[in-house]
Structure 1
Amino acid sequence: MIALIRYMFTVLLLSQRHLAPLLLFVGLLAVLTSSDSGPLAATYGSVAGAMLVCSVWSTMALIGLEDPTHRSVVVVTAGSRLRVLLGSVCTALLWCLPLTAAGLVLPLLFGSHTFTAADAVLGVEAQLTCALTGIAIGVLCSRLLFRRQGHALVASLVLLLAALLGRGVSPVNILLGDLQNASDSADLLGSTGVLLVVAAGVLAGAVAVTQAVGLRRN
């Protein structure tokens, strides 16, 4: 699995398809957190929202790098379709880790905040919750399920809006609501940790659905 993840990560970097979502992430952080001096919990809510969009885009780009023929070769080499799908998910999550670090630091440079250990933990939890949810959406809207890019784009936008705006529909909506109304990061560490676990479950479900549909098609 390590070799597979290394291969996929290398292909993603060489393709340069990571640049567009990366620039979008940094741009959103600059716009949403510039000159901000409010509570860091609310600021990290904005950062987490940017992570959601970026993780969806990055995952769809990663899975869409290979045409069906090339992917079949990778599947044969790796041993199974599930192994390749899990490798894609792990690679997407690995790509989100340096973005998470940037999401912690850049708001401190763009704005004026008092930074604590609780803020750091909350920022990581919030961004990973959105990253896992975004990867789940990216997997469901990838080339593995949608042959036409236009259909995949529409589906991803619908799921993004549902995740952001649907009350109680996704851990992201609950998370962002909690962060916007919080004044102390320490008060949210427990509930945000629970939402992180829920987001991991959402991703596991998305992988299971994608794998089941892929097996039926083949």
Structure 2
Amino acid sequence: MIALVRYMFMVLLLSQRYLAPLLLFLGLVVVLTSSDTGPLAGTYASVAGALLPCSVWLTMALIGLEDQPHRSIVVVSSGSHCRVLLATIATATVWCVLLTAVGLTLPLMFGTHALGLADLALGAEAQLTCAFIGVAIGLACSRLVFRRQGYALVLALVLLLAVLLGKSVSPVNIMLTNLQNASDSADVLVSTGVLLAVAAGLLAAAAAITQAITLRKG
């Protein structure tokens, strides 16, 4: 599995398709957090929101790197469709973790904040919550599910709007609202952790659905 993740990581790295979502993330973080002096909870909410579309983009780009014959060779070499799908999710998650580290650091460089351990933990939770939801959307809108990427792109945009605007329904909307209204990171640390677990569950469900559709098509 580690070798498969390393292979996918290097394929995406060499393809340079990570550059567009990476630059989008960096640009959004700089614009949203530059000269910010407010509570870090609200700042990291903005960073997490920026990671959401970027994680969708990264996941779809990663899955779209290989055509069907090439992917079939990878499946045969690895032993199963499930291993390839899990490696894809793991690779996308690794990229998102790297972006999370950047998202934790840049607001401290461009703004003025009093930093605590609770702030860093909250920032990591918030970004990973959005990353898991983004990877889930990326799987659901990938080539594994949709042969025509025009339809997949439209669905991805609809799902992004739904998770951002779905009040009292979407874990992303609930989390971002809680963080924007929080004056102390410690106050929302536990509730954000619960939403992170919910996001992980949704990612697992998206992976199961994608796997079922892939096997049915195959």
Give the TM-score category using the shorter length: over 0.9
Q: Determine the structure 1 residue equivalent to 2:208.
A: 208
Q: Determine the structure 2 residue equivalent to 1:187.
A: 187
Q: Determine the structure 2 residue equivalent to 1:63.
A: 63
3-state DSSP of counterpart to 1:50: helix
Amino acid at match of 1:72: S
- Post-superposition offset of 1:169: 2.6
Q: What are the residue-to-residue correspondences of 1:30-45 with 2, within 5 Å?
A: 30-45=30-45
Amino acid at match of 1:151: Y
Q: What are the residue-to-residue correspondences of 1:40-119 with 2, within 5 Å?
A: 40-119=40-119
Amino acid at match of 2:65: L
Q: What are the residue-to-residue correspondences of 1:163-178 with 2, within 5 Å?
A: 163-178=163-178
Amino acid at match of 2:182: A
More off after superposition, 169-178 vs 25-34: 169-178
Measure, in 2, the Cα distance between the counterparts of 1:163 and 1:19: 25
Measure, in 1, the Cα distance between the counterparts of 2:48 and 2:168: 17
- Post-superposition offset of 1:35: 1.0
Q: C-alpha deviations, 1:72-127, integer Å up to 9, x for none? A: 00000011111101100000000111111110110011111111111000000000
8 Å Cα contact 1:162-1:169 kept in structure 2: no
Amino acid at match of 1:198: V
Matched, 1:13 2:9: no
CA RMSD of aligned residues (A): 0.7
Normalization by structure 1: what TM-score?
Answer: 0.99
3-state DSSP of counterpart to 1:173: helix
Q: C-alpha deviations, 1:11-64, integer Å up to 9, x for none? A: 000000000000000000011111111110000000000111110000000000
What percent of counterpart residues are identical?
71
Normalization by structure 2: what TM-score?
Answer: 0.99
Q: Determine the structure 1 residue equivalent to 2:138.
A: 138
3-state DSSP of counterpart to 2:196: helix
8 Å Cα contact 1:4-1:84 kept in structure 2: yes
**Could you list the runs of 5+ residues in structure 1 that have no partner in the other structure?**
none
3-state DSSP of counterpart to 2:38: coil
Amino acid at match of 1:175: M
**Could you list the runs of 5+ residues in structure 2 that have no partner in the other structure?**
none
Measure, in 2, the Cα distance between the counterparts of 1:191 and 1:117: 16
Q: Determine the structure 1 residue equivalent to 2:27.
A: 27
The 4+ residue runs of structure 1 with deviation greater than 3 A are none
Q: Determine the structure 2 residue equivalent to 1:198.
A: 198
